[in-house]
Amino acid sequence: MSRARLWASVQPQTNWPDTARLARALRSATPALLFGLRLWAAVCLALYIAFWLQLDNAYWAGTSAAIVCQPSLGASLRKGWFRVIGTVVGAVAIVVLTAWFPQQRTGFLLGLALWGAACGLLATLLRNFAAYSAALAGYTAVIIASDELGAVGGANGDVFILAISRASEICIGIICAGVVLAGTDFGGTRHRLAAQLAALSVEIANKLASTFVLDGSAQPKTRPVRRELIRRVIALDSVIDEALGESSDLRPHSPVLQAAVGGLFAALSGWRSAAVHLELLQSDPSRREADIVRANIPQELRQGDATSWAVDPSPMCRACAAAVRALTALPARTPSLRLFADQTAEALDGIGRALDGLLLLADPGRHIPGHQSARFSVPDLLPSLVNAGRAFVTIVAVELFWIMTAWPNGAQAITFAAVAVILFSPRADQAYATTMSFMVGTGLTTALAAIVKFAVLPGVANFAGFSLAIGLVLVPAGALMAQPWQTAMFTAMAANFLPLLAPANQMNYDTLQFYNSALAIVAGLGAAALAFRLLPPLSPALRTRRLLALTLRNLRRLTTGPIPRTASEWEGRVYSRLSALPEQAEPLQRAQLMAALSVGTEIIRLRRVAHRFDQDAELDVALDAVAKGESSAAAERLARLDQRLAALPSTRPGVRVRLRARASILAMSEALAQHAVYFDAGAAR
Amino acid sequence: MNFTEVDLFGVYLAPVSLMMAAAWLVLIALRHVADHFGLLRHVWHPALFVFAFYMIILSSVVLVVAR
């Protein structure tokens, strides 16, 4: 080895920064930094307008702007709109409450806690941004109340003026955030939703078609795929809400998007029934029947491409509609073939509804007929009641603490306890961790606000300097909010910085007041965190068990009483339960809910058909076994009903309807057999 | 009674805040012991139990200081 090479190998290499890597890192951080700048601009604009209008607590305008700013544009705009509604409702509520309890401290404070509880209840019952609006109505009322309460409680006569000024400040913040975000970010949620909807539709269509190629023994392998797809369909809900917030032209057509999700659930249900039937009937005739049905699925649906579906879904819509017509009219001699054809038609019809959603996303001006407004259905009332009870107890406890200690900043502690306990309740098992992160973030913000307030602001003489000073905290906090790690902590930093700083036209540099205020905020958040520990939300496992049990109870009720005209109410109820399933739910539990959907739909169909052919008594016996949780007995009685329907003379009208009923019996029996443990659970004795 | 404000680097703190911190430190130690012997497994509502214990420790600290 030459001396030069030896030297080269011994000499340590200088570690210059890798420019390409640095550029990549900067590029990936740019969206977050831009968001931080937008948040800062929105806050500055809101504060400028509030100061210009000489509003007394201008910082609420900046605080609202900071809270309304969300990394996703759709979330921000819609959240802003709902925030206006919540603010107005909360302001009206506190004025009414004050009028009801003039000079009555106990009544007023209890009324305030009850209002907080009612808003907590609605915040959990409603979903997404409607839930946020309910939460806002609760804590806007508490914010105004904290201003009007005296040293130890009791309302005063300034409530109307306070309500107007607080509501105005909050609305200024909302509008400023909306203007800044809408003017600088055009969002991409609609494209994201279209891509997800197309990907799910393509995947379901492809895998449905390939199910008919697989042997019966290979069918169990498709179960995990379906269960994972159910989870992904459930996750579409929040993206839909963001898209509705981002695009005002989508809002009037929101039932089409809800129907698209329902369609995907229906497609998975139809696929499940066909796959289970193939799994149970491992014979040559069933193989031939599967081939017949597969031949009726158009080639473009069998080998679809998500990108082309998202760009122009019209050809696929037409193909789906044609395939549904062909499969419905398919001449079938056996219940087995009828089952394959009907379930595949149902699945393709569901995919067609999802494609209608895609059509809407591609062209929001298009009229898509046949979709009625979705009916609101409460999946489970208990989590909401627990949250309402916790909100009431927490607010009353902090009120009592304040009255007993005569703490000057107690009212502020009540405000922040109410904000946290109402706002974070819908996060269920994440509520405690989120509140703790929020509290830690507030603690850090206190230190930053103290530095800015006592070290930077005394040297600042104009609004431009003040804006730069708050930008030192708001821009990094906003940028960090836009990344996935510890989002709640950085949200707290952005949201609580201004209430702590309390900027005013005549700044007040009283350290004691600052620390009292900071202590009140941290104590309020701490009370909320303690409430989440002592009165914890229902665990995901318990919520899942309850959703399954409630669905089973509803299913058993379907067996008696008046026959529903359509299955849409039942389907809507199960879709809402599927959407409410926690992320931690077992795949098997999702499949059980899907099986219940299928069985319920078949029960409604069979009850209508049995009535037509005077087979009510025989069906009632079978359904009685379903209601008692005796699946095997139900299957036997359904087989007897099948024989009776088969024995009816072919000269009697309704041959096709009877064959369809027999296919329904088959699908129902197979679902009962596959999930017997679930359907037999808690059997009525 | 011996409740006077505490000067912490120029910031006057309420005496109860220091007592709360002291009670919290005691609680952490006791919690470690309870975890080691698995005692909290036998409690119906561990969070409520720990909170009640914290209140007992804090009250005891206040009483000791007040004496």
Closest CB to B47: pick one of A511, A512, A533.
Answer: A533
Torsion sign (Cα): A589, A593, A598, A600: positive
pTM for this one?
0.83
| Lowest mean pLDDT across A317-321, A528-532, A648-652, B53-57 | A648-652
Q: Do A533 and B51 touch (CB under 8 A)?
A: yes
pLDDT: is A11 or A644 the higher one?
A: A644
Mean pLDDT of B5-26: 83
Contact A631, A679 (CB under 8 A): yes
H/E stretch holding B11 reads: strand B11-13
By C-alpha distance, the chain A residue nearest B45 is A534
Contact A227, A590 (CB under 8 A): yes
Contact status of B45 with chain A (Cβ, < 8 Å): yes
Mean pLDDT of A437-462: 91
pLDDT, chain A, mean: 86
What is the pLDDT at residue A26?
A: 75
What is the pLDDT at residue A10?
A: 46
Tell me the pLDDT band of A37, cut-offs 50, 70 and 90.
Answer: very high
Contact A267, A354 (CB under 8 A): yes
Contact status of B44 with chain A (Cβ, < 8 Å): no
Q: How far apart are CA A453 and CA A247, in angstroms?
A: 40
> Which CATH code of 1.20.58, 1.25.60, 2.40.360, 1.10.3470 fits the domain covering A189-362?
1.20.58
Contact A287, A391 (CB under 8 A): no
CB atoms within 10 A of CB A298: 20
Taking contacts as CB-CB distances below 8 angstroms, the residues of chain A near B11 are 511, 515
Q: Under 8 Å CB-to-CB from A56, ≥6 apart: which residues?
A: A165
Q: Do B47 and A511 touch (CB under 8 A)?
A: no
Closest CB to B48: pick one of A512, A515, A534.
Answer: A534
Closest residue by Cα to residue A519 from A374, A633, A408: A408
Let me know how many helices (H) and strands (E) chain B has, helices first: 2, 2
Contact A40, A474 (CB under 8 A): yes
pLDDT: is A420 or A139 the higher one?
A: A420
DSSP class of A301: H
Taking contacts as CB-CB distances below 8 angstroms, the residues of chain A near B47 are 533-534, 536
By C-alpha distance, the chain B residue nearest A515 is B11
Q: Complex ipTM, two decimals?
A: 0.78
Taking contacts as CB-CB distances below 8 angstroms, the residues of chain B near A512 are 12
In percent, the amount of chain A with pLDDT more than 70 equals 92
Q: How far apart are CA A413 and CA B55, in angstroms?
A: 20
Q: Under 8 Å CB-to-CB from A487, ≥6 apart: which residues?
A: A481
Domain positions in chain A are 31-187+396-534, 189-362, 540-679
Taking contacts as CB-CB distances below 8 angstroms, the residues of chain B near A528 are none
